[in-house]
Structure 1
Amino acid sequence: MVRLIVNVLLKKVKVINNLAIVKALLFNIVLLAVSTNAIANNESNDDWADAWVEEAPASPWQVTGFIEAAYGQFLQTNVTKNNASLNELKARVNVDYSHELFDASVKLDSYYDGVLTKTIFQTRELSLSASPFSFLDIKAGRQVLTWGTGDYLFLNDLFAKDWQSFFAGRADEYLKAPSNSIRTNWFYNAVNFTLVWTPEFIPDNYLNGERFSFYSPQAQQIVSPANDFSVDNTYKAQWAARLNTRINDIEVSLYGYQGFWPTPEGTKQSANNTMQSRAYFPALNTWGVSAITPFKGGILNVEYASYNSIEDNQGTNKMIANGQHKFLIGYEHELAKNLTANMQYYLERTKHYQALVNNSQLPEQLVAENRHLVTLRLSYRALRQTLTYSMFAFYSPSDKDGYLKPSANYQYNDQWLLSAGANIFFGEDEFSFFGQLEKNTNAWLRARYQY
């Protein structure tokens, strides 16, 4: 249209031959073109504005959770009160709140435990986290803590564990027990420093007879004492620290811990009855180091920890566990598509071993000075990653015992997760670490609905 108007005007120029008129007409054409383009743009912008729908701001609240039914059965005759190793209906609620100044997290479990015949309410997390400075993160409250490089093997990680859940067939997340702590992370260039203070010591949820049986050196047999297993608790604080950095492709960490043995490794006479002994948690200090790095298409990890038994630093007190050196090396690699293997070698060397032998009433039942353990995890994913087969195997050539943990998990859809597996223990001696648990061999099933 503009070109047609220009041609007409040029013809008029020849006729009129008046330069002033031509300039005026050309100026009007430019104004017309600019106006037309502006109108078109405005109409386009109006159409785009009409199509635009402003999204509502994201809610700072997020609520998720699940409902789960689980059942496990012993596969051998056991001395426990109940033949079921797991029998529960559980409901979980997760509530997360995000604010520009802080984050809050709540995880609540409520379930009926048919093995213990009672309803249990547990707060797995109730915490606040914030970053008051660019170099500092703080998380305070009830939380699950973990670090280290081992797979089901914990050297420098002395935070609370739940071994009853692990051996019963609950989800792996329940192996880590919660604690009431304050965790601070300090950042400086490539160095991170983490300090954890737990005002009141939280021990492991160890085997105590209420669900599983174990070997008693005093009774010289497998027992399930339930409420008769007396332990003196401690209410003192514990500290844990980690210094972490990266050197090229190697992530290196240094660890320190001041607190107590996570299981009752000491025995003392009862204050009320000198003829009766009670288990307790002796003081323990540890330090260690770990490194993890990519290697030959896989991941290589190495870890070391030194356990110093403060109340028996010479190993002469037969009522308290000796200190230990612990060493771990592991390697994970994808063998084939969807098939991954993880192998570990673990060494546990008892300090002052000869003193331990000389002062022991049952030296033939003592763990070897150098306890060796090898593990293998095989994981295979199928059906577009919705079905996972897993086998985790522990074997100790020094103790001549072991533990197999096969499982299968099927994610039917976004809501339903079905799981099945077993905990299989074996050993030549009933007093060895895994041998004492042989009668606790069980199989389990879980069905979870997630929302």
Structure 2
Amino acid sequence: MTSASIKRKWPLHLAMTSLAALISVSSVANDQVADDEWDDWGDEERLDDVDMDSWDSDDVSTVSGFIEAGIGRRLQTDSAIKERNTLSEARARIEYQYFHDLFSLEALGDVIYDDVLNEGEWQTRKLVAQFSPTDNIDMKVGRQVLTWGTGDYLFLNDLFPKDWQAFFSGRDDEYLKAPSDSIMGSWYGPLVSVDLVLTPKFKPDNSLNGERFSFFSPLAGKQVAPNPKLNPDEPTGATWSGRLATTHQGIEYALYGHIGYWPTPVGINNQGKATYPELDTWGASLRSPLGKGLFNTEMAWYDSREDRSGKDPKIPNSQLRWLAGYEQEVATNLTAAVQYYLEWTQDYDDLKKYSSKPQYEQDEYRQLLTLRFTKLAMQQKLTWSLFTFWSPTDQDAYLRPSVSYRLDDNWEFATGANLFMGDDKHTFFGQHEDNSNAWARIRFNY
């Protein structure tokens, strides 16, 4: 299934007229229900968890959605990109759900006018059918948002597509997870559950490409924003992901596997074009109550199949990745969470020896610390949040302060910032110092 894309320029007033029309349609829908707590991270409830007894008929359908306006702007000039706005859009969401005794259907899409790119677009985020051929097997077929793992903004075994442009520009967190056209089967046994995901055509991350944000180019030795935008050579092969999970005495255990490609264009082919090299990953995770909080740990082995010796400078080396985290409510309505993350690059001596730009290679043991504070106030209508990344090896950092307020069941307001800093322009966060921005959004749910 593919998303219908409208790549033509729209006047802003036409986009807003379309948004208003969606509200009008929804207001006369006899079967409309609110869906204020929809989980857009892909861990939807199973079909048999839906309370069908509360409805008068076997078939249930719902319509919901929102309209939203967002604005974001750089806090300084960027020598590589002239556009000061990082977010300037009007967006309307419409979601349709249909439940039957034998199956369910979900469709979710956004119509957008993006003033930064001066274009309109329809995005299908979900178009999926779910059914259960047996009592212990669930199937989900179609466009869907998938996720697993234990990290908070850190993804080790989760190789499903992400949208980093959305994350850095101030869109809602749900847009960090991008959809993919996949088939997911889940088997629930007495002791373990097994999930298997097939994506027939590889779907990469929506990485920075020079359209909205600049990035550091080791070849140029400086910040760049290519025009036309960076257009990597994408493989057309399938990807496979699997998870085996169980819970014993309140402790969650999981094993993971993935066969596919690096999700970002970290390789260069023989024609000098950015590409996505082949990648297998194998990992495990654990999540357990500890003291008054929750402890989690996760590891993953990144097997860079095209460069297992580490001698090809155009292909990234294999890595061992590990994290450990802890979360606890430290005061009334105040939660704190901390994570330690490590990337251990294999065959590091060969990497430095054969690299064309050894001065730009990251440390053999790249370390990262994260800290999250979340404070709820005003009967949990007001949420203060601060998430920080700090790398003692790269000597750079990324801060995400935000505050959101829910006026009522319909109106929501949010504002925040993406703040980057670093000693060097080539490090992971330091390269984005000129992309630092502040943003604000207003949303009406219907």
Quickly name the TM-score band, shorter chain normalised: 0.7 to 0.9
Give the deviation of 1:230 after TM superposition: 3.4
- Taking a change above 3 Å as real, the CA distance of residues 380 and 226 of structure 1, as seen in their structure-2 partners, is farther
- Correspondence 1:94 to 2:95: yes
User: Counterpart in 2 of 1:250?
Assistant: 251
Give the deviation of 1:247 after TM superposition: 2.1
Q: Is the 8 A contact 2:243 2:256 kept in 1?
A: yes
Q: Secondary structure at the match of 1:410?
A: strand
User: Counterpart in 1 of 2:148?
Assistant: 147
Q: Deviations over 1:370-424 (max 9, x none)?
A: 0000000000000000000000000000000010000001000100000000000
User: Counterpart in 1 of 2:177?
Assistant: 176
Give the deviation of 1:127 after TM superposition: 0.2
Q: Secondary structure at the match of 1:418?
A: strand
Q: Partner letter of residue 69 of structure 1? A: A
User: Counterpart in 1 of 2:15?
Assistant: none
- Correspondence 1:362 to 2:363: no
Q: Partner letter of residue 355 of structure 1? A: D
Q: Secondary structure at the match of 2:269?
A: strand
Q: Deviations over 1:422-443 (max 9, x none)?
A: 0000000000000000000000
Q: Distance in 2 between matches of 1:223 and 1:363?
A: 19
Give the deviation of 1:242 after TM superposition: 0.2
Q: Distance in 2 between matches of 1:247 and 1:363?
A: 47
User: Counterpart in 2 of 1:138?
Assistant: 139
Q: Is the 8 A contact 2:370 2:390 kept in 1?
A: yes
- Correspondence 1:77 to 2:77: yes
Q: Partner letter of residue 366 of structure 2? A: R
Segments of structure 1 that go 5 or more residues without pairing to the other structure are 1-53, 271-276
Q: Distance in 1 between matches of 2:319 and 2:159?
A: 14
Q: Is the 8 A contact 1:380 1:390 kept in 2?
A: yes
User: Counterpart in 2 of 1:447?
Assistant: 442
Q: Deviations over 1:28-54 (max 9, x none)?
A: xxxxxxxxxxxxxxxxxxxxxxxxxx9
Q: Secondary structure at the match of 1:232?
A: coil
Q: Partner letter of residue 343 of structure 2? A: E
Q: Secondary structure at the match of 1:439?
A: helix
Q: Is the 8 A contact 1:199 1:237 kept in 2?
A: yes
Give the deviation of 1:229 after TM superposition: 1.9
User: Counterpart in 2 of 1:123?
Assistant: 124
User: Counterpart in 2 of 1:262?
Assistant: 263
Could you tell me the TM-score, scaled by structure 2's length? 0.87
- Correspondence 1:64 to 2:64: yes
Q: Distance in 2 between matches of 1:395 and 1:96?
A: 41
User: Counterpart in 2 of 1:8?
Assistant: none
Aligned pair partner of 1:344 in 339, 344, 348? 339
User: Counterpart in 1 of 2:25?
Assistant: none
Q: Distance in 2 between matches of 1:55 and 1:245?
A: 33
Q: Is the 8 A contact 1:212 1:224 kept in 2?
A: yes
- Correspondence 1:237 to 2:232: no
Q: Partner letter of residue 198 of structure 1? A: T
Q: Distance in 2 between matches of 1:114 and 1:80?
A: 16
User: Counterpart in 1 of 2:203?
Assistant: 202
Q: Partner letter of residue 280 of structure 1? A: T
Aligned pair partner of 1:438 in 430, 433, 445? 433
Q: Is the 8 A contact 1:373 1:395 kept in 2?
A: yes
- Taking a change above 3 Å as real, the CA distance of residues 115 and 100 of structure 1, as seen in their structure-2 partners, is same
Structure with a larger share of its residues in helix: 1
Q: Secondary structure at the match of 1:394?
A: strand
Give the deviation of 1:227 after TM superposition: 2.2
Q: Distance in 2 between matches of 1:140 and 1:293?
A: 32
Q: Distance in 2 between matches of 1:218 and 1:269?
A: 15
Give the deviation of 1:361 after TM superposition: 1.8
- Taking a change above 3 Å as real, the CA distance of residues 430 and 268 of structure 1, as seen in their structure-2 partners, is same
> Deviation above 6 Å: which 4+ runs of structure 1?
none
Q: Partner letter of residue 413 of structure 1? A: D
**RMSD after superposition:** 1.2
- Taking a change above 3 Å as real, the CA distance of residues 290 and 97 of structure 1, as seen in their structure-2 partners, is same
User: Counterpart in 1 of 2:312?
Assistant: 317
- Correspondence 1:161 to 2:162: yes
User: Counterpart in 1 of 2:326?
Assistant: 331
Aligned pair partner of 2:418 in 410, 418, 423? 423
Q: Distance in 2 between matches of 1:186 and 1:382?
A: 41
- Taking a change above 3 Å as real, the CA distance of residues 61 and 426 of structure 1, as seen in their structure-2 partners, is same
Q: Secondary structure at the match of 2:155?
A: coil
Count the aligned residue pairs.
Answer: 392
Q: Is the 8 A contact 1:208 1:226 kept in 2?
A: no
- Taking a change above 3 Å as real, the CA distance of residues 57 and 83 of structure 1, as seen in their structure-2 partners, is same
Q: Partner letter of residue 380 of structure 2? A: Q
Q: Distance in 1 between matches of 2:351 and 2:104?
A: 50
Give the deviation of 1:70 after TM superposition: 0.1
Q: Secondary structure at the match of 2:116?
A: coil
Give the deviation of 1:55 after TM superposition: 8.5
Segments of structure 2 that go 5 or more residues without pairing to the other structure are 1-53
The structure number with the bigger radius of gyration is: 1
Q: Distance in 2 between matches of 1:205 and 1:228?
A: 12
- Taking a change above 3 Å as real, the CA distance of residues 179 and 226 of structure 1, as seen in their structure-2 partners, is farther
Q: Distance in 2 between matches of 1:204 and 1:133?
A: 34
Give the deviation of 1:57 after TM superposition: 4.2
Q: Secondary structure at the match of 2:432?
A: helix
Give the deviation of 1:269 after TM superposition: 2.6
User: Counterpart in 2 of 1:39?
Assistant: none
Q: Partner letter of residue 291 of structure 1? A: L
Aligned pair partner of 2:388 in 368, 382, 393? 393
Q: Partner letter of residue 191 of structure 2? A: A
Q: Distance in 1 between matches of 2:229 and 2:435?
A: 19
Give the deviation of 1:228 after TM superposition: 4.2
User: Counterpart in 2 of 1:185?
Assistant: 186
Q: Is the 8 A contact 2:397 2:429 kept in 1?
A: yes
Aligned pair partner of 2:367 in 364, 369, 372? 372
Q: Partner letter of residue 252 of structure 2? A: E
